[in-house]
Amino acid sequence: MSNDAFEPRLIGFLCRWCSYNGADLAGTSRIKYPPNMVPIKTNCSGRIDPTFVLKAFQEGADGVLIAGCHPGDCHYINGNYRTAGRYALLEKLLLQMGLEPGRVRLEWISAAEGDRFAQTVREFTEQIRALGPLRWNDQFADLGGGDDQFDDGGEAPSGDRQLEGAAV
Amino acid sequence: MSDQHNGNGGNGRGNGRGQREEKIAVYVCHCGTNIGGTVDVPAVVAWAASQPGVTVAREYKYMCSDPGQDLIKNDIKELGITRVVVAACSPTMHEPTFRKAAADAGLNPFLLQMANIREHCSWVTEDPVAATQKAKRILGAQIHRLPFNQALNPIDVQVNQDVLVVGGGIAGIEAALKLAEAGKHVYMVERNPSIGGHMAMFDKTFPTLDCAACILTPKMSALGKHPNITLLAYSEVTHVDGYVGNFTVTVKKKARYVNTDLCTGCGACQEACVVRKVKSEFDQGLGYRSAIYIPFPQAVPLRATIDPENCLTLSRGACKKQSCVAACGPKAIDFDQKDEEVELAVGAIVLATGFELFDCREEPTYGYGRLDNVITSLEFERLSNASGPTGGHIVLKNGETPKSVAILHCVGSRSVNHQEYCSRVCCMYSLKFAHLIKEHLPDTEVWELYIDMRTNGKGYEEFYKRLMDEGVNFIRGRAAEVTDFAMSPEEEGKLIVKAEDTLLGVVRRLPVDMVILSAGLSPQHDAKEVSQIFGFGCSANGFFLERHPKLEPVATVTDGVFICGACQFPKDIPDTVAQAGAAAAGVLTLVNNVSVKIEPTISYIDPEKCSGCHVCVGLCPYAAIRVNAETGAAEVVEAACKGCGVCVAACPSGVPQQRGYLDEQIFAEIEGALVV
């Protein structure tokens, strides 16, 4: 299918000290970037629970950005290392759930990198546009579990079943 | 508002809507045209009014103004509003303003959220339709979040009145003296054996041509003697713990191999030392010092230091005479001295760590380090200084007087290859050099090669005018090359500066005897590591990052840590001194309070629910989670928790929760961001 008319819905989890301020700097510098991502602030990227990402997909997001301080720059010493560790596991989990690689992205963006923030959103928007809509809830609806929580013990769909329904 | 900040935060994960009906008020700010010019504010307001729980939605030109804040206050009082969202600028900007307004009207400030529709929306989005939709999403996230917000109370912590100042250049000296005069005890940590920084090396200061030493050394000496100042020279900060008002700082005192309590600074040891040809750092390698040395006569503290790399005893145990030991009357020399660690408890910190000169070897076309008589600006400062290695005589390497000198501006600065920024001081110090050369050597021809002349300070343009009348030649054009390859008899034995004279439109070859490179100012080589020790970061150009470029130029994102002087960005002495005063005022504003309020967005663990796996204990970066010996449950040490939330995300059962960032609050934000 053509994805030209598709406007991805993106959620961006930003740590308060680096990436959120980087996004602010993009603003004060008036750097334009696509409007597809809504930022959500946490104190540290280490606060970003993998279930936040799953929740975003469940609610209809097509892609999720996680952004924190550069390695070594964490305001909380090493919270971003926890983020990096969890992200590696999350990627595998999402793959097993049938998501295409690339729907989640981890970036280190400092408070001084407004241009990098804008560029990341530009790239990520195009990346998800190319992947197409997620339509995850439709797939869950097929299985009769569309509105349930993931941790409610609902039967997880097999990878093959997922891919059939996914817009790939 | 029956919720207590330590009440049950509710550990349910994403269990839909809030349990109680809240009365939410929404305010959308136009910010003049900053938001209203792009975002269709009335449409956002109309949409917000239709959202669940929203009692009232209003717009206003400037919400941060008094009438704007009054809107919020009146609605809280008259409509019984229980939750507020202000859609305006970044919370970094005005969250404190609006939270205070809410508190003034009797609403707990943590029941107010901001939706950042300026920095994150109107300023970055071109299409008004898309911007309006994004504004609704950003606002929607906060409207959905609010029912889950709890009333929180800031935590009061005691403030230690003592202050640490790092860096003993003019910035640090000024800040330390101001704080000490205000009655605070100041610890001054300086990396070098003496305070004074770059300013102590200068000859004159522009544009008034005051002698730098005459205005600096009295301050250095006052600092050294001040009863409220503890000077830790030849020392470095290695670690910082704690938080605003309560920092614990570890300082490494490097071994001087001289007992500073006994040393009188007489200098007999440096006269006696057999190693006499060590290039002097203070003289930029143009002069020599001994292995045991006092960097310059006005050094503070006036104490000797042995440089272990060059001392024959310390480097290879081979000094037969040990003449310094014999020469030292008070027997202060101690070859067994070791580095020492001291711990300081302070309430606030000022960083004034200064700059480094751009390394001119990185611009090889100018031949620095390869061609004789191509020198840096700092080398010229020492050359023209009466206390310098030549006694103030401006001479070539062979001792002769230069008949012509070219001063090359913007070396390393305003360059796509090196530093993009203008270093702000080079034009003026280059003009000062031209004046000093003309003063010392009236018959010497002086050429200034500049891109643009930037003389934007009090009396600066006048100084430039004065130099034009003093017979200095100005060529508008950046030098392309410095070479010793002669193409005509008059170029023989000279340095030839090639440059395009952009006013005449010709390429010129200037044969001169001496070339001065007006090098730009670079960040300290370890600026990044130092900023990490103190918990903040650097700008893209490598200088310390201030909290806000306009409104908080001397604060950092770490509460209680301030910056001033050239460590923030290149600046001249007047600006540095002004900033040092601002940093001192920032410190006083903080430490003059007995206590300070810190954010209560820290973690808590319900002991009833904790199964005692202790995954969180090892993950906490601050060792703020301990195990209750009786119950086996993990518990948060509130004073140590800084609210990163790592434990919350890590717990397999979702037991720890972070106040202000509860799972359900974030879940609700996600839902709200995706409703339209």
Compute the nearest-CA separation of B606 from chain A (Å).
18
d(CA B411, CA B477): 12
Per-residue confidence band for B638, with pLDDT thresholds at 50, 70 and 90: confident
pLDDT for A138: 72
Residues B361-389, mean pLDDT to the nearest whole number: 96
Point out the least confidently predicted range of B191-205, B225-239, B315-329: B315-329
pLDDT at residue B598 is higher than 90: no
Q: What is the DSSP letter of B119?
A: I
Nearest CB partner across the interface for A23, out of B120, B141, B646:
B120
User: Which A residues, 31 through 60, put their C-beta within 8 Å of a C-beta on chain B?
Assistant: 31-33, 35, 38-44, 46-52, 55-56, 59-60
Instruction: Report if pTM > 0.90.
Output: no
Q: Report pLDDT digits (tens) over B393-411.
A: 999 999 999 999 999 999 9
* Intrachain domains B356-522 and B602-658 with the same fold: no
pLDDT at residue A163 is higher than 80: no
The CATH number that domain B356-522 falls under is 3.50.50.60
- Contact at CB, A27 and B118, closer than 8 angstroms: yes
pLDDT at residue A135 is higher than 80: no
What is the residue whose two structure tokens read 């971003």?
A: A80
pLDDT at residue B452 is higher than 90: yes
pLDDT at residue A148 is higher than 50: no
Q: Is the ipTM of this complex over 0.90?
A: no
- Tell me how many residue pairs between chain A and chain B have CB atoms under 8 A apart: 145
Cβ within 8 Å of residue B487, ≥6 positions away: B496, B509
- From the CA atom positions of chain A, what is the Rg in Å? 16
pLDDT for A142: 62
pLDDT for A143: 61
d(CA A120, CA A126): 10
Residues B581-603, mean pLDDT to the nearest whole number: 94
pLDDT for A5: 83
pLDDT for A158: 42
Mean pLDDT of the residues in chain B: 94
Q: Any chain B CB within 8 A of the CB of A2?
A: no
pLDDT at residue B601 is higher than 70: yes
Domains of chain B, by residue range, sit at: 3-154+662-674, 268-327, 356-522, 602-658
What token pair was written down for A136? 């995850």
Percent of chain B scoring above 70 in pLDDT:
97
pLDDT for A140: 65
Nearest CB partner across the interface for B92, out of A24, A47, A86:
A24
DSSP readout, B327-374? H-TT--B-TT---EEEEEEESEEEE---EEE--GGGSGGG-TTTSTTE
pLDDT for A149: 45
Question: Which residue of A30, A31, A41, A136 to mutate against B (max B Cβ within 10 Å)?
Answer: A41
Residues B663-676, mean pLDDT to the nearest whole number: 96
- Contact at CB, A43 and B644, closer than 8 angstroms: yes
Q: How far apart are the first and last CA of chain A?
A: 9
pLDDT for B640: 83
The CA-CA-CA angle for residues B377, B381, B383, to 5°, reads: 110
Beta bridge partners of B205: B210
Q: Report pLDDT digits (tens) over A42-78.
A: 999 999 999 999 999 999 999 999 999 998 889 898 9
Cβ within 8 Å of residue B514, ≥6 positions away: B373, B374, B375, B396, B402, B404, B405, B406, B495
- From the CA atom positions of chain B, what is the Rg in Å? 31
What token pair was written down for B455? 């003389």
Q: B619: nearest CA in chain A?
A: A82
pLDDT for A168: 30
Nearest CB partner across the interface for A60, out of B532, B642, B674:
B674
- Contact at CB, B663 and A49, closer than 8 angstroms: yes
> Domain B3-154+662-674 is in which class?
alpha beta
Collapse the DSSP code of B614 into the 3-class scheme (helix H, G, I; strand E, B; otherwise coil) and give the result. coil
Tell me the chain A residues in contact with residue B557 when contact means C-beta distances shorter than 8 Å. 17, 21, 75, 111
Cβ within 8 Å of residue B289, ≥6 positions away: B270, B276, B278, B279, B280, B282, B283, B295
- Contact at CB, A40 and B669, closer than 8 angstroms: yes
Backbone φ and ψ of B614, nearest 5°: 70, 20
Residue/partner pairs of B458-461 with CB below 8 Å, 24 or more apart:
B458/B574, B459/B207, B459/B208, B460/B206, B460/B207, B460/B428
pLDDT for A159: 39
- Contact at CB, A24 and B120, closer than 8 angstroms: yes
pLDDT for B442: 96
pLDDT for A153: 42
Q: B558: nearest CA in chain A?
A: A75
pLDDT at residue B543 is higher than 90: yes
Name the CATH code of domain B602-658 (choices 3.40.50.720, 3.40.190.10, 3.30.70.20, 3.40.50.300): 3.30.70.20
